Amino acid sequence: MKDKVEEALKKIRPMLAADGGNVELVEVTDQGIVKLRLTGACGSCPMSQMTLKMGIEKVLKEEVPEIKEVVAI
């Protein structure tokens, strides 16, 4: 599942990079929890939680239906 998540993140990264940010995959648990680290401008942006839930999580769940939740660490 980790490879599928990385492939999906490749589709998301250009949107984040346009605003000076990026995302790093930290872990995919056996329970379907994806742990990400937002970097660059995304790491300190006050809207990062909304980006995570409404953007990244939505796309990842569409691409990899086994995902239950996406969290930032």
- Domain map of the chain by residue range? 2-72
- CA dist 56 and 73 (Å) reads 14
pLDDT of the residue at 32: 95
Top-tier CATH class for 2-72: alpha beta
Summarize the confidence of residues 53-72 as an average pLDDT. Answer: 94
Summarize the confidence of residues 18-40 as an average pLDDT. Answer: 94
| pTM: predicted TM-score of the whole model, two decimal places | 0.89
Residues 6 or more apart whose Cβ sits within 8 Å of residue 30: none
pLDDT in tens, 50-61: 889 989 999 999
Q: How confident is the model at residue 67 (pLDDT cuts 50, 70, 90)?
A: very high
pLDDT in tens, 33-56: 999 999 998 888 888 888 899 899
- CA dist 33 and 48 (Å) reads 18
